[in-house]
Amino acid sequence: MTLSIVRTRAGLGLEAPEVLVEVHLANGLPGITLVGLPETAVRESRERVRSALVNAGFDFPMRRITLNLAPADLPKEGGRFDLPIALGLLVASGQIAAEALAEIECAGELALDGALRPVPGMLPLALATRGAGRRLIVPRANADEAALAGDLEVLPADHLLEVVAHLLGQTPIEPHRASRPAEALTTGADLAEVRGQHQARRALEVAASGGHNLLLAGPPGTGKTMLASRLPGILPPLTENEALEVAAVRSVCGLPLDEDWGRRPFRSPHHTASAVALVGGGSRPRPGEISLAHRGVLFLDELPEFPRQVLEVMREPMESGRIHIARASHERRYPASFQLVAAMNPCPCGHLGDPRRACHCTAAQIQRYQARLSGPLLDRIDLQVEVPALAPEQLTARESGEPSAAVRERVQAARERQWARGALNARLGSRELEAACALSGADRAWLAGVLERLNLSARAYHRVLRVALTLADLAGEPHPGREQLVEAIGYRQLDRLLQGR
């Protein structure tokens, strides 16, 4: 047989489209032609495969070899095509029967001696193979990751010789049966360690319950970062499907998957991060921090210190929950359903309104500092809370606050009410939001007057309704009333503070 076809898959972000490795041997001068839109690492696979076959003791066909990676218009990159190319050559040259590769997919990079090396992005590939109902041959170092796909027969190998022995029926490979990583404990940093700051703690609970974005503003050292780091501890654990989504993003980035399995991600990039680092991109588009924070928390400390153009690129993903990266030759879509928690000082020196120290910033400096945050960005932050400096007696008090476990129970109960409506309040559609709130005529008239006095936008109006609905869910009420509306309006503090800038 001079023609063979081996199935594998490409890596396009979190997608893994099927690729057919077609190998044809023809008469003529010995040589290898590789087609099918391969990038540099794929083109170099010709030399790796040749050396691996020879060093493993196989006959390399001294004929004119044509390798086609179909479909031809799909970009191919990385070393994952080494193993399917090698097996295709062995089948085309008659050293392996074609029937041995029926209902099998494979991926892996080859060393020059025939050893198999791991490749990134194995989990999306394994999930796609499971959907196709086939078995998967992978390097042993990728076996645990591939086994996360669940109902999939994973065949791990350390060397090309093991793969061939399995296909020839000489030494079958035992399917890999690795267990899922142990679910991370949800304790970690406990909310009970936070002294005082009752309003900020309340806002943190509301944010966790409804999936709302949160901004903490206050002088240095008042506990803004401490509060933000406690948010994952009061969020419910990830479901199985959510954990797989998070793991798939980490797999594409080449990050380990056995860390914090089942726990919500918490990402905290430095304020010098670029727009590409934050939202993703590059010559080969990769996920950014907002995708690595998918189903979890993105914490931006010193928010005004981030370049304004960097912050503005987050506005669309904050609304849609995904990021679409388009380049001249690449296009990727990554999930980005994250919860934003940000912290900022009230002025450049940080002591505006601080009773402990006087602020020496001029009015112009304060205005320029606060103007780094655009109105459209602030509109997308539902909860804006001041975190004041604590009195010494509060810092030295022995009593501790409510632990994270107790808060997490209330958050879980509030989220269950929201899932009964179809989505968290932060993601609820406008029509569903109006129907769920069902405000009375008097409350609507009161709210209209408040919106006019505070000069809030239409988006801010819907944000107030979402927070009020979450407050009603926490209180076990079917609809928000005047009490919930008043508290929700109170969480728009920066709208009033920056209104006259």
CA-CA distances (angstroms) from residue 156 to 60, 122, 123, 178?
A: 24, 13, 14, 11
**Across 10-30, average pLDDT:** 94
Per-residue pLDDT band at 501 (split at 50, 70, 90):
very low
What pLDDT sits at residue 262? 76
Contact between 34 and 42 (Cβ < 8 Å): yes
Q: Are strands 297-300 and 18-26 parallel, antiparallel or unpaired?
A: unpaired
Q: Do 216 and 129 share a structural domain?
A: no
Average confidence score pLDDT of the chain: 90
Query: Does 461 have pLDDT greater than 90?
Result: no
466, 470, 473, 479: CA torsion to nearest 10: -30
At residue 332 the predicted structure's pLDDT band, cuts being 50, 70 and 90, is confident
Residue 132: its pLDDT value, please?
95
Same structural domain, 229 and 378 = yes
pLDDT value at residue 483: 94
Share of the chain above pLDDT 70, in %: 94
Model confidence at 496, pLDDT cuts 50, 70, 90, reads low
48 and 122 inside one domain: yes
Read off the pLDDT of each residue in 129-135 and give the average, rounded to a whole number: 96
Q: What pLDDT, in 10s, does the model give residues 207-222?
A: 999 999 999 999 998 8
Write down the pLDDT at residue 327.
77
Last residue of a domain, one of 380, 409, 438: 409
Mean pLDDT of 337-350: 93
CA distances from 37 to 77, 119, 122 (A): 9, 19, 21
Q: What is the pLDDT of residues 53-109, one digit of tens each?
A: 999 999 999 999 999 999 998 989 999 999 999 999 999 999 999 999 999 999 999
- Same-domain status, 211 and 251: yes
Cβ count within 10 A of residue 59: 12
Supply the range of the domain harboring residue 331.
191-409
Residues 236 and 317 in one domain: yes
Question: How far is 250 from 331, CA to CA, in rounded Å?
Answer: 19
Q: Give me the CATH number covering residue 35.
A: 3.30.230.10
Determine contact, residues 16/76, Cβ cutoff 8 Å: no
Count up the domains in the chain and report the number.
2
- CA-CA distance, 218 to 244, in Å (whole number)? 37
Query: Is residue 358 located within the same domain as residue 282?
Result: yes
Domain-located, residue 429: no
Q: Residue 341: pLDDT band by 50, 70, 90 thresholds?
A: very high
- Is 431 part of a structural domain of the chain? no
Taking CA 128 as the corner, what is the angle to CA 125 and CA 129, rounded to the nearest 5 degrees? 85
Residue 500's pLDDT is 43
Which CATH number do you get for residue 240?
A: 3.40.50.300
pLDDT band at 276 (very low <50, low <70, confident <90, very high): very high
Task: List the beta bridge partners of residue 68.
Answer: 22, 35
> Per residue in 426-454, pLDDT tens?
999 889 999 999 999 999 999 999 888 88
